[in-house]
C-alpha cells in the first residue's frame, strides 16, 4: 500500500477511511455515525458505537483461539523475577480484579487512581477498570505526594490502587508514606486503597481505609465486561501544562481502540503473535498506548520491564531482553540509548546477544539527536524510526510508517505525517506558511480517532489551550517546518514545557515550587541542554530584599523542595542567585533569551526588553558557575 494513497484517503475522506479501520475491531454495537459533533462542538468518532476496550485486549483473543499465547512477559532485574501471563491467564486475573473493584462499589464512570511501580498488577488494574467501564488515572510512581494529591483532587477517585513499594535500581521507594501524605494533602477523601504487598518490602495498612490487594482478590468474583459507549472515557492521564496545575488528558474508548489497532499495523508493523517492547513506564502515555493497550488489542506479546537501560545490572539489559523474548519491535526514548552509549561506547554488550528477531528500533518522547541515531544504526544495524507524538494524541502524529511504506530517512526529521493527521505549519496569525518555513505545528481539525476530546473537568482549558488560538486547528505546542517532500522537522516546544530524560515537565510548575521558598522573591526555571537527559532544569533566583543566604545552602533547599513537591524525576539540581531577571517593559520575564544564554545559543536582544544590561550580567553569572 502506498503511503501517499493511504494518507490522501485519510485526509480527503476521513469518515470512509476510519469506518474501514473501525470495521477491524469487534464492536458490541457497530457505529453507524462515524463522525459527529458533541454538545461542546468537538468532533467525536464512532459516536453511537458500543464496545469494551478490555474485551478487545483480552477476551476477544481467548475467544479466537489465542488463549494459550503469551500476552504479557514481566521481566524485573530489580527483583530478579520473571513471569509470563497467557491471554487466558491475564483475562482471568483482570476479570477477578474487576470484580474486586466492583465489590468496593466502583461503577461505570467512577475514577480509580493507579499509583504503581512497573509490576503486572499495574496493567491488570488498568484493564480491570476498563472491563467495568471505570476510568483509570495512572500516576507515575516517581511523583511526590503533592503531585498525587493534585491528581486526587482533580480526578476524585473512589479507589486508589497502589503497592507497598517501588524499586529504583537498588533503592526501595516506600509508597505508603507517599500515599498517606497525598491523602492528607488532598481535599477529596478517598474511602478505599487497595495495596499490593510486594515481597521486597511490605507496609502497614491503615485500618478502615486500606485493603490488602491479594487477600481481597481471593474473595472476589470475576466481573463481566461492561458495555460502554465509544465516547465514554477510558482513562484520564495527567500531563504537564504551562501552569502549575497538570492537565487531565481524556481518552475515549472507541477512537482509542481503533487508533491503537491501526497504529500497531501501520506505524510499528506488528502482527498477531509478534513481541513488542516499549521500554517505558505505565505512568506515561507510551506505557498506556504501547505497553498495555495497543499490543494487546493487536494480539501481540508485550514486555513489561521493571528496570533501567543501565545499572540493572549493566548496559546490556536492553539487548538481553530482546534476545530472551525474541523482541521484534523495541520502543524507547533516545535518552535510554544515550545512557547505554555512555556506559558501553562501542556497544560491545550487544554483540553478546542474538538480536536476529529484532526488526526495528522506535524512538520518541524527545528530540532524537543525530549522534544517538547514528550510534544505534551503526551498532544495531536495524532501521531506527523517530516518531513524534504527545500525551494528547495518544499515537504518532508523524513517523516513518513501517507497516505502510517505509521511506528514506532525513537526518533530524520525524519523517511524514501519519494518516489521519492533517499537519500544517502556521504563522503567528494562523496562516499556513510555505515549504521549509518555520512556524507553529498545528493539526487541521478533525483530529483523528484516539486524540483527546477534552481536559478532564475543564473543557474551557482544552479550548483555550489547544483550539482557541487558530480557528479550525489544534496546536501541538511544538514548532517546526515541512520540507519540499512533506518531511516534518520538529524543532522543540514553543512554550515552557521541557523534556527531561523523555519525561515531560513544566518549568512553570517548578517555578511555583521554587518561588514558595521564604528567601525567594522571583525566579525563572529554564531548560538547559544535557548530554544524557536532553534537557535539565536550571533555576535563576532573585532574593527578597534584605535576605542574606549562602547560595549553596539555598540551592540544596530548593533542590529538596522540588524533590518533595514534584519528585526526584524532575531532576532539578541547579539553582543560581541572580541580581536581576531580564523582563519586558510590561514586566514579563524573557525566558527564551535566558534559555539561549544558558545553552550558549546566539540571541537577539528583544526590542521589548526593559534593561538590556541585565543580559550581560546573567551571562557572566552563569559562566562563572560553569553553567554555560
For ligand AMP, the binding residues (CB under 6 A) are 239, 285, 364-368, 386-391, 414, 476-478, 490, 493, 499, 504
CA 314 to chain centre: 25
C-alpha cell at 406: 517505509
Residues 535-554 that bind ligand COA (CB under 6 A): none
Span from 233-241, 295-303, 487-495, 566-574 in contact with ligand COA (CB under 6 A): 566-574
Tell me which residue of 279, 487, 508 sits closest to 398, measured CA to CA: 487
Residue 129 or 286: the one with the smaller Cβ distance to ligand COA is 286
Residues 305-324 as x/- pattern, contact with ligand COA by CB under 6 A: ---xxx--------------
Q: Could you please report the per-residue DSSP string of 205-231?
A: PPTTTEEEHHHHHHTPPP-PPPPEETT
C-alpha cell at 255: 477512537
**Binding ligand COA by CB under 6 A: which of 141, 329, 419, 480?**
141
Residues 481-510 as x/- pattern, contact with ligand COA by CB under 6 A: --------------------xxx-------
Question: Would you say the C-alpha torsion 454, 455, 457, 458 has a positive or negative sign?
Answer: negative
Residues 272-311 as x/- pattern, contact with ligand COA by CB under 6 A: --------x---x-x---------------------xxx-
CB 142 within 8 A of CB 566: no
Look at residue 549 and give the partner it binds from ligand COA, ligand AMP, none, a contact being a CB closer than 5 to 8 Å depending on partner kind.
none
DSSP count for the chain of H helices, then E strands: 20, 31
Look at residue 252 and give the partner it binds from ligand COA, ligand AMP, none, a contact being a CB closer than 5 to 8 Å depending on partner kind.
none
Residue 363 C-beta: closest distance to ligand COA, Å = 8
Residue 569 C-beta: closest distance to ligand COA, Å = 4
CB 266 within 8 A of CB 400: no
Total site size for ligand COA, rule CB under 6 A:
23
Burial class of residue 291 (count of CB atoms within 10 Å of its CB; 0-12, 13-18, 19+): buried
Look at residue 168 and give the partner it binds from ligand AMP, ligand COA, none, a contact being a CB closer than 5 to 8 Å depending on partner kind.
ligand COA
Residue 13 C-beta: closest distance to ligand AMP, Å = 28
Span from 88-96, 108-116, 154-162, 564-572 in contact with ligand COA (CB under 6 A): 564-572
* CB contact set of 628 (below 8 Å; sequence gap of 6+): 597, 598, 599, 600, 619, 622
Q: What are phi and psi of 468, to 5 degrees?
A: -80, -20
Q: Is 142 an interacting residue with respect to ligand COA (CB under 6 A)?
A: yes
Q: What is the distance between the alpha carbons of residues 574 and 187, in angstroms, rounded to a whole number? A: 32
Residue 164 or 231: the one with the smaller Cβ distance to ligand COA is 164
Residue 172 C-beta: closest distance to ligand COA, Å = 10
Look at residue 367 and give the partner it binds from ligand COA, ligand AMP, none, a contact being a CB closer than 5 to 8 Å depending on partner kind.
ligand AMP
Residue 139 or 275: the one with the smaller Cβ distance to ligand COA is 139
Look at residue 481 and give the partner it binds from ligand COA, ligand AMP, none, a contact being a CB closer than 5 to 8 Å depending on partner kind.
none
Look at residue 335 and give the partner it binds from ligand AMP, ligand COA, none, a contact being a CB closer than 5 to 8 Å depending on partner kind.
ligand COA
Residue 280 C-beta: closest distance to ligand AMP, Å = 10
Q: Is 114 an interacting residue with respect to ligand COA (CB under 6 A)?
A: no
CB 144 within 8 A of CB 566: yes
The pairing of strands 473-482 and 488-493 is: antiparallel
Q: How many CB atoms lie within 10 A of CB 422?
A: 18
For residues 567-605, b (16+ Cβ closer than 10 Å) or e, as one string?
bebbbbebbbbbeebbbeeeeebbbebbbbbbeeeeeee
CA atoms in the 13 A half-sphere facing the CB of 270: 32
Q: Which residues bind ligand COA (CB under 6 A)?
A: 141-142, 166, 168, 173, 280, 284, 286, 308-310, 332-333, 335-336, 339, 365, 501-503, 568-569, 571
Amino acid at each position: 500500500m502506498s503511503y501517499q494513497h493511504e494518507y490522501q484517503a485519510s485526509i480527503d475522506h476521513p469518515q470512509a477511511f476510519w469506518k474501514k479501520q473501525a470495521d477491524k475491531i469487534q464492536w458490541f454495537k457497530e457505529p453507524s455515525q462515524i463522525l459527529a459533533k458533541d454538545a461542546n462542538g468537538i468532533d467525536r468518532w464512532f459516536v453511537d458505537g458500543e464496545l469494551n476496550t478490555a474485551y478487545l485486549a483480552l477476551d476477544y483473543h481467548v475467544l479466537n483461539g489465542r488463549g494459550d499465547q503469551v500476552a504479557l512477559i514481566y521481566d524485573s532485574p530489580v527483583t530478579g523475577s520473571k513471569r509470563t501471563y497467557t491471554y487466558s491467564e491475564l483475562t482471568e486475573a483482570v476479570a477477578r480484579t474487576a470484580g474486586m473493584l466492583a465489590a468496593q462499589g466502583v461503577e461505570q464512570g467512577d475514577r480509580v487512581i493507579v499509583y504503581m511501580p512497573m509490576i503486572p498488577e499495574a496493567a491488570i488494574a488498568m484493564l480491570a477498570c476498563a472491563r467495568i467501564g471505570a476510568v483509570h488515572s495512572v500516576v507515575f510512581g516517581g511523583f511526590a505526594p503533592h503531585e498525587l494529591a493534585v491528581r486526587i483532587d482533580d480526578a476524585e477517585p473512589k479507589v486508589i490502587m497502589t503497592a507497598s513499594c517501588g524499586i529504583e535500581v537498588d533503592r526501595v521507594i516506600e509508597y505508603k508514606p507517599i500515599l498517606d501524605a497525598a491523602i492528607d494533602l488532598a481535599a477529596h477523601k478517598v474511602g478505599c486503597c487497595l495495596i499490593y504487598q510486594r515481597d521486597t518490602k511490605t507496609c502497614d495498612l491503615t485500618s478502615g481505609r486500606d485493603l490488602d490487594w491479594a487477600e481481597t482478590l481471593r474473595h472476589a468474583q470475576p466481573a463481566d465486561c461492561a458495555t460502554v459507549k465509544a465516547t465514554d472515557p477510558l482513562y484520564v492521564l495527567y500531563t504537564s501544562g504551562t501552569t502549575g496545575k497538570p492537565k487531565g488528558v481524556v481518552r475515549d474508548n472507541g477512537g482509542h481502540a481503533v487508533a491503537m489497532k491501526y497504529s500497531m499495523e501501520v506505524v510499528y508493523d506488528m502482527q498477531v503473535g509478534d513481541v513488542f517492547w516499549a521500554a517505558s513506564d505505565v505512568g506515561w502515555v507510551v506505557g498506556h498506548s504501547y505497553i498495555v493497550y495497543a499490543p494487546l488489542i493487536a494480539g501481540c506479546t508485550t514486555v513489561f520491564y521493571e528496570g533501567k537501560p543501565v545499572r540493572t545490572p549493566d548496559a546490556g539489559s536492553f539487548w538481553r531482553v530482546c534476545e530472551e523474548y525474541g523482541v521484534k519491535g523495541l520502543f524507547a526514548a533516545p535518552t535510554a540509548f544515550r545512557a547505554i552509549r555512555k556506559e558501553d561506547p562501542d556497544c560491545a554488550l550487544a554483540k553478546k546477544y542474538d538480536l536476529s528477531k529484532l526488526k526495528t528500533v522506535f524512538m520518541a518522547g524527545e528530540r532524537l539527536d543525530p549522534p544517538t541515531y547514528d550510534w544505534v544504526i551503526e551498532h544495531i544495524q536495524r532501521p531506527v524510526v523517530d516518531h513524534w507524538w504527545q500525551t494528547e494524541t495518544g499515537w504518532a502524529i508523524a513517523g516513518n510508517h513501517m507497516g505502510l511504506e517505509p521511506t528514506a530517512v532525513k537526518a533530524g526529521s520525524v519523517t511524514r505525517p501519519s494518516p489521519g493527521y492533517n499537519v500544517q505549519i502556521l504563522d503567528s496569525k494562523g496562516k499556513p506558511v510555505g515549504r521549509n518555513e518555520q512556524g507553529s505545528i498545528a493539526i487541521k481539525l478533525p483530529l483523528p480517532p484516539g486524540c483527546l476530546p477534552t481536559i478532564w473537568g475543564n473543557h474551557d482549558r482544552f479550548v483555550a489551550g489547544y483550539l482557541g488560538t487558530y480557528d479550525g486547528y489544534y496546536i501541538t505546542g511544538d514548532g517546526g517546518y515541512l520540507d519540499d517532500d512533506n518531511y516534518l522537522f520538529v524543532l522543540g516546544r514553543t512554550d515552557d514545557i521541557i523534556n527531561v530524560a523523555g519525561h515531560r515537565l513544566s518549568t512553570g510548575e517548578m517555578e511555583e515550587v521554587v518561588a514558595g521558598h521564604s528567601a525567594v522573591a522571583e525566579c525563572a526555571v529554564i531548560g538547559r541542554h544535557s548530554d544524557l537527559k536532553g534537557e535539565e532544569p536550571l533555576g535563576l533566583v532573585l532574593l527578597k530584599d534584605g535576605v542574606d543566604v549562602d547560595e549553596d545552602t539555598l540551592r540544596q533547599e530548593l533542590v529538596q523542595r522540588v524533590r518533595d513537591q514534584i519528585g526526584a524525576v524532575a531532576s532539578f539540581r541547579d539553582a543560581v542567585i541572580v541580581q536581576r531577571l531580564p523582563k519586558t517593559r510590561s514586566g514579563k520575564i524573557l525566558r527564551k533569551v535566558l534559555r539561549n544564554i544558558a545553552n550558549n545559543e546566539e540571541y537577539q536582544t528583544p526590542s521589548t526588553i526593559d534593561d538590556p544590561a541585565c543580559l550581560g550580567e546573567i551571562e557572566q553569572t552563569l559562566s562563572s558557575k560553569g553553567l554555560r
